[in-house]
A and B are shown apart, each in its own frame.
Chain A
Amino acid sequence: MTDTASAAMLEINDLNSFYGESHVLHNVSFHVGRGEVVTLLGRNGAGKTTAMRSILGIVPKRCGSIRLCGKELVGLPRYQIPRLGIGYVPEERGIFASLNVIENLLLPPIIKKGGMELEQIFALFPNLNERASTQGTRLSGGEQQMLAIARVLRTGAELILLDEPTEGLAPVIVDQIELAIRTLKDRGFTILLVEQSFRFASKVADRHYILEEGHVVDMIPNAQLASKRAILNQYLGL
């Protein structure tokens, strides 16, 4: 793997993460260039979500190097990491039950200039505007996912961490999420995507890193996906 690290927005080197006694990530290295959409693919338990949580510091222990635009994140207090420009859309979506839709949407503080305006967000996800005063968790699964994405768009974060955005959603909703990710890429957002669905990943991403048992075992540019189909199937156990 050649490294174009100098231009990388996010650069991870020799990351090791632990949950108590169990060593989950082993010398994981990868990078995401500015404006790229990069996926982490792998089977259940390969360490994809842990990699994402490690970036934000929400694992019990991690070491190695995680740099955002050259700035080291390991060692920073947790609340300062997102302030450097990271928006997080967790796997479980994390919509707050005690907050209505608009309160959920306005919860993450603005960290930089240049975030999307509310009208632009509502143009992207019209459902949310109609349900502004609904309690957050009363939304459908698809709407909750949209809300989870929408709420990090206005903060000015340039790197978005999307953890399994299509999990458990109907195909028509998945299409909407796909469209949203394309729109965000066109707007210049950098996206790190964790996916189980390699079909979905192939439609939106530029490159794919394959994780196996906590190791990065391969990197496949999207253009070579067709020719590497056999090896990919082997990795993912399809």
Chain B
Amino acid sequence: MTTILGVPAQALSGQLLLGLINGSFYAMLSLGLSVIFGMLGIVNMVHGALYMVGAFTAWMMLTYLGISYWGALLIAPLVVGVLGMVIERVFLRYLYEVDHLYGLLLTFGLTLVLESMFRYNYGASGLPYPIPAALRGGNDLGFVYLPTYRGWVVAMSLAVCFGTWYLIERTRLGSYLRAATENAILVEAFGINVPRMIALTYGLGVALAGLAGVMAAPIYQVSPTMGSNLVIVVFAVVVIGGLGSIMGSIVTGICLGLLEGLTKVFYPAASNVAIFIAMAIVLIVKPAGLFGREP
């Protein structure tokens, strides 16, 4: 059996694959958080809960309405996006003028409300969601066995991340968004409906979380707290990547997933804290984050 640095190659590549999958979720979630913080200045604590709502929407659609994974992949992000726009219009828009802390507290409160609602109705234990038939099975790539669904998650996540990056960095709509992030008042003084754009941006950001939730449902179980466990790590990713940096979120998300995987191979005890150690080091060396613009 081949070994690398005294570790079986199979174990190493297995953990790296797992890290890549976790990293895919980190990237998709931190992307939305980053866009939202850049544009609204809201530290969106409810992001994890909305990821959970995405997963539950998929589960409920399958259980009650018989709508398949593929339908959920399309509809659940829309549901979460609309829910997000309602949250923005009803609550968040009153907080833009005040300290970031208020936004954090409000979205944290919303998290508790959403999680409690689902725990009350569905209990705390996870509900299973089947892998869609077309994505069952897997392939032995020689160095690692790749379950088809996991390959699909990685590919989809890369496509979604790149698509979002392209939308923001290379399109006209994206140039409005970047400009409004810098100076919303001036963009409004050019005749662009900034309040509507802000609502749509928030909707888009949380729709990404909803989509990640649907994709996560067959891998992790669907449970009310599935988002809370993730959101702390995702915040660390955003801080390391640099608040507001799109590319930073994507690259850092994937890299930190891999770092976590590697730690599991070489020093499993540290795997839960590896990301936070990385965060501490980055904050000391480069406080604006790896891809952040220095103030």
Binding site for B on A (CB under 8 A): 56, 58, 77-83, 88, 90, 94, 96-99, 103, 106-109, 111, 152, 155
Contact = CB atoms under 8 A, between A and B. Distances in A.
B190 interface: yes
Nearest to A93: B186
B137 interface: no
B190 A99 contact: no
A138 B281 CA distance: 32
Given A90-B186, A96-B182, A83 B175 contact: no
B23 to A, nearest CB: 26
Interface size class of B (residues with CB under 8 A): 10 to 19
Contact of B188 (A78, A96, A98): A78
Contact of B186 (A77, A94, A97, A98): A94
Interface in B146-187: 172, 175-176, 178-179, 181-183, 185-187
9 contacts: A81-B191, A82-B191, A88-B189, A88-B190, A98-B182, A107-B175, A107-B190, A108-B192, A109-B191
Interface string B102-142: 00000000000000000000000000000000000000000
A109 B190 contact: yes
B226 to A, nearest CB: 34
B191 A108 contact: yes
A111 B192 CA distance: 10
A111 B191 contact: yes
Contacts of A56: 189
Contacts of A81: 189, 191
Contacts of B189: 56, 58, 78, 81-82, 88, 90
A58 B182 CA distance: 16
A152 B193 CA distance: 17
A106 B194 contact: no
A155 B189 CA distance: 13
Contact of B179 (A77, A78, A99): A99
Nearest to A87: B190
With most chain A CB atoms within 10 A of its CB, the pick from B172, B176, B189, B194 is B189
A118 B191 CA distance: 20
Contacts of B181: 98
B190 A108 contact: yes
B193 A79 contact: yes
Given A94-B186, A99-B175, 12 more contacts: A77-B193, A78-B188, A88-B189, A88-B190, A96-B179, A96-B183, A98-B181, A107-B190, A108-B190, A108-B191, A108-B192, A109-B192
Contacts of A96: 178-179, 182-183
A90 to B, nearest CB: 6
